[in-house]
Structure formats: C-alpha cells, structure tokens
Amino acid sequence: MSVCDIKHKDRILEAIDQLRSRKARPDSHRICNYLMRRFGINAIDAKLDLQKCVDKDIVLRVEYKGSTSYRNAAKKFSHLRRDRENLPDTNKPNRKFVALLTNAIAELIVHEPDYLEVGVPGPELIRNILSKDNVRYTKKYISILLEKEVESGGLVKMENGNYLVGPSPTKTEFSRESVTESYVITKPPRDEQGTQMVYKKKEASRKVDKFRLKKNKNGEWYFHGS
C-alpha cells in the first residue's frame, strides 16, 4: 500500500491540525466528527484511513494518561528540528562568553588575590557573569560553558572544584605578579566592619614577563600584554 492509496490522508491531517489549533485533543472521536461535518466522510472510512496514516508514519499515535490522540508527524518533526537548531551550540567558540569569563576572573582576583593560588570558585564566576548578562546566559548554561572551557584547555578545574586560567595558547596567562604590577594590595587591621581591601597605585613599575591587569574606560578588567 502506498501513500497515494490513503484516500482521506490530507483531510485527516487537516482535521488534526484544526483540532490542535482550537486547543482540542485530536482523538479518534473528534477527528471522525470533524471529517463527517466538514467532508461527509463516515466514521468507518475515517478510522480505516487514520490507521493507514499511522502505519505509514504520516500520523503519530500518542498515548497519554490512558487517552489516545494523534499528531501530524511532519509538523512534529519540524518542531523537533527547529528546537535542535535553536539550542546553543556549546562546541563552537563563544567569544562573548570568553570575554565575560576573562573579565570575571580578573575582577575576582583583584578583589581576592588568594584566588591565584586556590582558584576562583565556580559560584563566584557564575554570579559575576550573570551580573553582566542575565539575558543570554543562565546558571545552568554558564555551568555547561565552563565545563566546555575546561575540555578545550581554556580553564583548569582544580581538585577543590575551583577554576584557573588554563594553558591553552588562545587564553591569556597571568600570575600574582601580573596582578600586583598595576596595584599594590594591602589588608588593614580588622575592625568591626571586617577587613577592607585597599588599592594603592604603584609609584614605580617593574618589567614582568606576563600580562598586566588593567581597567578600560568602561570600567572592565582585561589582561594587557607587556
């Protein structure tokens, strides 16, 4: 039996699409009623052709909570293809995210230089990035991208779960010296308000091999090659 042998195929598909557009479940009873009212097709012929459509994968039979309904297979598969196309491809380079990530790591290290030794905690990175862009990114999506950066060598995930910039040649390396190149960081004695980080501009600069941590006119941190 070929598709051409299904006499009422197009009308069955129309019935299913119309019922779904009306938010009505396209079950066998409703499909048959539609075909009878609209085209004068009796229930026996309608059910026979509906089954033929199912057998040929033109129509999908869906079981849900004890009820059976039908879907237009062509439209269902088109939705699935479109959904896959709309999913973010985390395998492709994401320059926007890499820029946000680099800036986030730089900011967090400036505020807590010990992160150069123990790594930057993931939750801190995620919060920093979301504070910059919570439209394009979500907590879960950022977590996925962080793991992708680890796989590509852009980040190193330490045993404690924290992150450091990896050895990938496409990534910027930095060290504690690079942070203190532009700023001397001191911690005053603790008071009732807790420790406050104080930043003083260094009077004399010295040459280092790594990259300097600088702030651009937009107030964003970045690494500048020496």
Q: Given a cut of 60, is residue 191 above it in pLDDT?
A: no
Per-residue pLDDT reduced to its tens digit, 25-76: 999 999 999 999 999 999 999 999 999 999 998 998 888 778 899 998 887 6
155: number of Cβ within 10 Å: 24
Q: What is the pLDDT of residue 98?
A: 87
Burial level of 125, CB count in 10 A (0-12/13-18/19+)?
buried
Domains of the chain with bracketed CATH = 8-77 (1.10.10.10), 89-165 (1.10.10)
Q: Given a cut of 90, is residue 215 above it in pLDDT?
A: no
Q: What is the pLDDT of residue 65?
A: 76
φ, ψ (nearest 5 deg) of residue 101: -65, -45
Q: What is the mean pLDDT of residues 194-217?
A: 45
Q: Closest Cα partner for 50 from 65, 72, 67?
A: 72
Q: How far apart are CA 177 and CA 93, in angstroms?
A: 29
Q: Given a cut of 50, is residue 176 above it in pLDDT?
A: no
